[in-house]
Chain A
Amino acid sequence: MHSMKEKFNVLTSTAVPLPIENIDTDQIIPARFLKATTREGFGDNLFRDWRYDANNTPIPGFVLNGGTYGGQILVAGKNFGCGSSREHAAWAIYDYGFRAVVSSFFADIFKNNALNNGLLPVVVSDDFLRHLIAVVEKSPATSLTIDLPRQAISAGSRSESFEINAYKKECLLNGYDDIDYLLSLHTAIRAFDLVQAETGSSQHG
């Protein structure tokens, strides 16, 4: 089977806290950086306008600057990834080095895009999210563990289980992607297409 992504199993890492709500994909990667025609290199412009000022100088106090926080887990406020469908947002987060984003709520399209790129969106309760942010802000060296097979996330003595769709879990554990599965349905889809064309769902031209 064709496999394009790294596999995801158990991730233990320090985390970066970003307790802002409704972080939209325009903040994650502004439109003016979407001109590339490949998937690589977007990490440099992750959170560009929060990270750098107009002269490209790092803005002190932003969590990715100053070296206080680091690691492969981003912990963010509610409704993360809303707005534009740009998959570049997921590519930028992954390219920067994150492998999981934790929030109490994700926008639909972002969640799909993340899963399609081996980036794990972990949905936790509002209460656990507050706990995670408090823990990481208090001691940035704390490691969080995200155990995908067990579907659990833990920080210190507290842990919480999270939901993930069984199919997507299997894809992440094995590094499969959706196209592999869809290509296996080729004959069925071809027949469906013919019937659709006959029953008036017209094609163009």
Chain B
Amino acid sequence: MNGAILFYQGRNKLTIVVSRQKPKTIFEKIWDAHVVTQRDGYPDAVFIDRHFIHEVTSPQAFDGLRKRGIPVFNTKRTTATADHNVPTKDQHLPIKEALSRHQVETLRKNCQEFGIELFDLGHPYQGIVHIIGPELGLTLPGMTIVCGDSHTSTHGAFGTVAFGIGTSEVEQVLATQCILQYKPKTMKIEINGALGKGVVSKDIILYIISQLSASGATGYFVEYAGDAIRSLSMEARMTICNMSIEMGARGGLIAPDETTFAYLRGRKFAPSGAALERAIAQWRKLPSDDGAAYDAVLTFDASAIAPMITYGTNPGMGMRVTDRIPTAEELNELNERVSFKKSLEYMGLEAGSRLLGKPVDYVFIGSCTNARIEDLRQVASLVKGKKKAEGVEVWVIPGSKQVEAQARQEGLDKIFEAAGFELRSPGCSACLGMNEDKVPPGKYCISTSNRNFEGRQGPKSRTFLASPLSAAAAAITGKVTDVRQWMDN
């Protein structure tokens, strides 16, 4: 694919033009190879290799197909699961809440009617949509991937162009396997150097967002690079790409390398044997060419990153756990100050104060950001032989059935149980508080998820975003804790 563009011309003719054009970024290589038609004044029609759907953002799209009387364009390119609105207890029983039950049943009916494979509740592959794609090998380098969920950017960790879409676009993909898009600008974010003890990939991305703000990358597609990124596992890379949307980016990706290929070996739907070797040979051509130009380039030093925590009501309002919350006067813009004050008021926090030592009521370890096996292992290694603090409620919600099974096989469930943590069944859970897993009004929750918006985890709930390690530490001490200091003890 390096330097080669697939051009679709006329009716059935496909020419591969080996271009001697300017060097390209990985994003441009993938994008250009998926443009079906380009027309002046029109957005690109971009072909989508893989489409994921779930119960919340798909029913109206299927209705659209029904109204038009058209089938799904290619049923093999769409995979469904139930995750956003499912209970995390007693998943084998019918869903109690009528509207939620109806929504999951509607997904079931739609998948059956239109011929789409569904990993339903109880299926060994069920789980959060962005966790099951990679673990099943449905997510492969060089692909274009979309889903009616903004954290589709997670799949970018494999060197894919993956992004979230709305329901009208879900309908477009079901009907035509394409969506209409304008090519975004490109941004490279390089992180070099070694991470300190107790600092993990969640801290890297929370740090970047705190530097760029919740809208700092709007209009861009981000490529994460640098030796600090290269040294990360696939799980850790997914955490970073996952939160690209929290700084407004269309998506984020990381070029595939040996770590990527090793992860893909033996995955259920990934190619195997000679086919895999052929694919890997192609994937090696994906990384950005030397001298490829980006619209923006930012560089960060990994040693400046510490365990991070958010204090406000958007993910850009984050700081090192040892820092103090800024004051309104430290902000530049008058408008910002008003929103800033409103945010701290909601959180019940004082400007200029520190969060360290602040008591928490709930600990949520879950979501497509941090509910993979590596996250659960990190938590378990920290809490092994310890007990949670009195009065703190701790939920561990695995990202998928496979993660849950693996955790049990490794005996992590025993460690959690001994610590007083509750290991439940997979789903989005308190990441968005759509099912019954809600943080009560006014309560503080330290959460490994990706959003701290007002009411995100339940009406009037208050969220501190942090890494699985920091969340685990807070579960043990019952307050916001600097995990580094705690690990030394």
Interface residues of A (CB under 8 A from B): 2, 19-22, 24, 26-27, 30-32, 34-39, 49, 54, 77-79, 82-88, 90, 105, 107-109, 112-113, 116-117, 126, 130, 165-167, 177-179, 181-183, 185-189, 191-193, 195-196, 199-205
Q: Given the known A-B contacts A26-B454, A193-B47, are A54 and B441 also in contact in the complex, defined by CB atoms under 8 Å?
A: yes
A178 touches B455 (CB 8 A): no
Q: Shortest CB–CB separation between residue B442 and chain A, in angstroms? A: 11
The smallest beta-carbon distance between A44 and chain B, in angstroms, is 14
Residues of A within 8 Å of B149, CB to CB, are 84-85
Q: Would A203 and B45 count as touching, CB distance under 8 A?
A: no
Question: Closest CB-CB distance, A107 to chain B, in whole Å?
Answer: 6
Which 10 A/B pairs are nearest by Cβ-Cβ distance? A87-B166, A37-B59, A35-B99, A113-B166, A116-B168, A203-B76, A85-B164, A85-B150, A79-B215, A182-B176
Given A54-B441, A112-B166, answer yes or no on A179-B171 (Cβ-Cβ < 8 Å): yes
B433 at the interface (CB under 8 A from A): yes
A47: shortest Cβ distance to chain B, in Å? 11
Q: How close is B314's CB to chain A, nearest CB, in angstroms?
A: 5
B interface residues (Cβ-Cβ under 8 A, vs A):
6, 8, 11-12, 14, 36-37, 41-43, 45, 47, 49-50, 56-57, 59-60, 63-64, 68, 70, 73-74, 76-77, 79, 85, 99-100, 102-103, 106, 117, 138, 140, 142-143, 148-150, 164-169, 171-172, 175-180, 182, 184, 214-215, 218-219, 245, 248, 250, 269, 271, 275, 278-279, 282, 314, 316, 335-336, 338-339, 342, 432-434, 441, 451, 453-456, 459-460
Given contacts A27-B455, A205-B76, contact A185 B45 (CB under 8 A): yes
For the complex, give the distance between the alpha carbons of A2 and B178 in Å. Answer: 18
Chain A residues with CB under 8 Å of B166's CB are 85-87, 90, 109, 112-113, 116
What residues of chain B lie closer than 8 Å to A178, measured between beta carbons? 168-169, 172, 179-180
Q: Which of B64, B335, B453 contacts A26 (CB 8 A)?
A: B453
In the complex, residue of chain A having the shortest beta-carbon distance to the beta carbon of B150:
A85
A38: chain B residues within 8 A (beta carbon): 59-60, 63
Sample 29 A-B pairs with CB under 8 A, ordered by A number.
A21-B335, A24-B451, A27-B453, A31-B432, A31-B433, A35-B102, A37-B59, A37-B106, A85-B166, A108-B250, A109-B150, A126-B335, A165-B182, A167-B41, A178-B169, A178-B172, A179-B172, A182-B45, A182-B179, A183-B70, A183-B176, A189-B178, A191-B8, A191-B12, A192-B36, A193-B47, A196-B49, A204-B76, A204-B77
Q: Which residue of A lies closest to B142 (CB)?
A: A201
Verify B339–A37 contact, CB threshold 8 A.
no
A37 touches B176 (CB 8 A): no
Q: B360 CB to closest chain A CB, in angstroms?
A: 21
A39, B433: Cβ atoms closer than 8 Å: no
Query: Given A26-B432, A187-B11, 20 other A-B contacts at CB below 8 A?
Result: A21-B338, A26-B453, A32-B433, A34-B56, A35-B85, A78-B215, A79-B214, A82-B215, A83-B150, A85-B149, A85-B165, A105-B218, A116-B169, A182-B178, A185-B45, A186-B176, A192-B36, A192-B47, A199-B6, A202-B271
- Chain B: which residue is nearest A104 at the CB level? B335
A77 touches B339 (CB 8 A): yes
Contact partners of A188 in chain B: CB under 8 A: 8, 36-37
Once A26-B454, A34-B56, A37-B103 are accepted as A-B contacts, the answer to whether A195 and B37 lie under 8 Å apart by CB is no
State the CA gap A193–B271 with chains docked (Å).
Answer: 18
Name A178's closest neighbour in chain B (CB-CB).
Answer: B180
Q: Identify the closest chain B residue to A105 (Cβ).
A: B215
Q: Write out the residue numbers on chain B whose beta carbons fall within 8 Å of the beta carbon of A107.
A: 215, 218, 248
**Inter-chain contacts of A193 with B (CB < 8 A):** 47, 73-74, 177
Q: How far is the CB of B72 from chain A (nearest CB, A)?
A: 12
Q: Judging by beta carbons under 8 Å apart, are B218 and A79 in contact?
A: yes
A204 touches B269 (CB 8 A): yes
A contact residues around B59 at 8 Å (CB): 37-38
